[in-house]
Chains A and B, each alone.
Chain A
Amino acid sequence: MQLAIIDSGGANIASLRYAIDRLGMASELTTDPDKVRAASHVILPGVGAAADCMSRLQKTPGLVETIRKLRQPMLGICVGMQLLFESSEEGEVPCLGLLPGRVRRFADRDDLPVPHMGWNQLEFEPGSPLLKDIQPGDHVYFVHSYSAPVSPLTVASATYGEQFSALVQSGNVFGAQFHPERSARIGSLLLRNFLQLQQTQ
């Protein structure tokens, strides 16, 4: 196993690397398209604004094209997940377009503060290899103002005023809206499950 973490400049990269360390796995933080291509697993973390993250990826020639063509398991986390979609309402930015759909902002409501920060339950029908040993109702940690609507790609959802995608999958491409690196035991299980996925081709 060779894990490449794409250096998207977000503030959660340190905690993600420590979470991988705690699993006893090695990881390489990189923006080098060759290293990303050569990895068996790729994680795209992201914290901050979608537009900033996209423009940081675009700074390295060939990186965005490489990400779009990956065949190995890839996991986007938080804004990294949002970037997998076609576009985001945040800054009206075109994203990677690996998943159909558009990321939108939580509706402004008096009774629900935005950003959504905190521990919420995962709702899902068991079956995804990513959710092995995880139960519906288990709590994970979210920090976000934008989310992807529930769609046929949704593997697990969560509810904050409205239901949204907590975990999505399409082929080799996975996305987690929550932060597995800060979701205690459940987050650690999710990362472990991801790293145990086999390459599809």
Chain B
Amino acid sequence: MRFRDHVVVGDILELAQRYRDEGADELVFYDITASPDGRTVDRSWIRRIARILDIPFCVAGGIRSVADAEEVLGEGAEKVSINSPALADPELISRLSARFGAQCVVVGIDSQTVDGVYQVYQFTGDPERTRNTARKTLDWVREVQERGAGEIVLNCMASDGVRKGYDIAQLSAVRAQCRVPLIASGGAGSKEHFATVFNEARVDGALAASVFHTGALPIPDLKSYLRDTDIEVRP
């Protein structure tokens, strides 16, 4: 789940608890206060989340160094997710992986088609600064794995927030190059979209935000639907 909108910590705790009780398998917290302007931030909220959550969670945003990751993991997160800082300093992936193990290191990739080629975007948290890196997505997918990423979250920007379904073609192309767990992001609008992305793009997980935040798709309904279509899910 993506906490993209600005919410205060109290609300995050409540939301985290709600998703835990509804059967979410993992939560991702996008710390928008930490990125992209480089301020030092108070990370005590992570501990408050860690105390109440008994499922894995990942923190994304503002992790630019081994020390940042150490703090986030030390507060109780399972994983850190890096995106723009990895593009600025790809060696960061290697350092994090060597220090904490690949399983802690998620690389988020924002990608969309430009002139028929999937390309990577940076600083997508801030519309003013969002830029095309001119990196080809499939090359970057290979590189981050070589550097020790243990999981890739592919956010297909053109689908994001539109709720018309995941970008199956792009996710399938990335899947073919991806030997670590691949998580689909961007586009979930209905329970059928989840079944399609698991069956057709063979992703390991599907991430969604607004469709859950708004209550449009309750997690228990989604899970019982997926079970009925023979996709193995935790009850």
User: How many angstroms between the C-alpha atoms of A120 and B165 in the bound complex?
Assistant: 26
State which residues 9-48 of A face B: CB under 8 Å: 11-12, 14-15, 18-19, 21-22, 47-48
Q: Which chain B residues border A118 with CB–CB below 8 Å?
A: 25, 181, 204-205
Q: Which chain B residues border A18 with CB–CB below 8 Å?
A: 50-51, 76
Q: Are A47 and B101 in contact (CB under 8 A)?
A: yes
Which of B75, B103, B180 has the largest count of A CB atoms less than 10 A from its CB?
B103
Interface segment out of the listed A60-68, A69-77, A162-170, A181-189: A181-189
Q: Which chain A residues border B179 with CB–CB below 8 Å?
A: 108, 110, 113-114
Q: Which chain B residues border A114 with CB–CB below 8 Å?
A: 179-180
Asked whether A1 is an interface residue with its Cβ less than 8 Å from the other chain, the reply is: no
State which residues 85-119 of A face B: CB under 8 Å: 108, 110, 113-115, 117-119
Q: Which chain B residues border A144 with CB–CB below 8 Å?
A: 103
- Would you call the interface of chain B mostly helix, strand, loop, or mixed? loop
Asked whether B102 is an interface residue with its Cβ less than 8 Å from the other chain, the reply is: yes
Q: Which chain A residues border B204 with CB–CB below 8 Å?
A: 113, 117-118
- Cross-interface CB contact of A185 among B47, B54, B56, B181, cutoff 8 Å: B54
- The interface size of chain B toward A, counting residues with CB under 8 Å, comes to 29
Asked whether B34 is an interface residue with its Cβ less than 8 Å from the other chain, the reply is: no
Q: Are B78 and A15 in contact (CB under 8 A)?
A: yes
- Cross-interface CB contact of B73 among A11, A108, A113, A187, cutoff 8 Å: A11
Which of B55, B74, B235 has the largest count of A CB atoms less than 10 A from its CB?
B55
Q: Are B54 and A143 in contact (CB under 8 A)?
A: no
Q: Are A11 and B100 in contact (CB under 8 A)?
A: yes
Q: Are B103 and A145 in contact (CB under 8 A)?
A: yes
Q: Are B182 and A113 in contact (CB under 8 A)?
A: yes
Q: Which chain A residues border B129 with CB–CB below 8 Å?
A: none
Select from chain A the residue with minimum beta-carbon distance to B21: A184
State which residues 47-79 of B face A: CB under 8 Å: 47, 50-51, 54-56, 73-76, 78
Asked whether B13 is an interface residue with its Cβ less than 8 Å from the other chain, the reply is: no
Asked whether B1 is an interface residue with its Cβ less than 8 Å from the other chain, the reply is: no
Select from chain B the residue with minimum beta-carbon distance to A187: B54
Select from chain A the residue with minimum beta-carbon distance to B70: A11
Asked whether B151 is an interface residue with its Cβ less than 8 Å from the other chain, the reply is: yes
Can you show 23 pairs from A to B with CB atoms below 8 A apart?
A11-B100, A14-B76, A15-B50, A15-B78, A21-B51, A22-B54, A48-B101, A113-B181, A115-B102, A115-B103, A115-B180, A115-B181, A117-B103, A117-B204, A141-B55, A181-B54, A182-B55, A182-B56, A182-B78, A183-B54, A184-B54, A184-B55, A188-B54
Besides A115-B150, A184-B20, 13 other A-B contacts (C-beta < 8 A): A11-B104, A14-B73, A21-B51, A113-B182, A115-B102, A117-B150, A117-B151, A117-B181, A118-B204, A143-B78, A143-B103, A182-B56, A185-B54
> Which 3 residue pairs of A and B lie closest in terms of their CB atoms, listed nearest first?
A14-B76, A139-B234, A11-B73
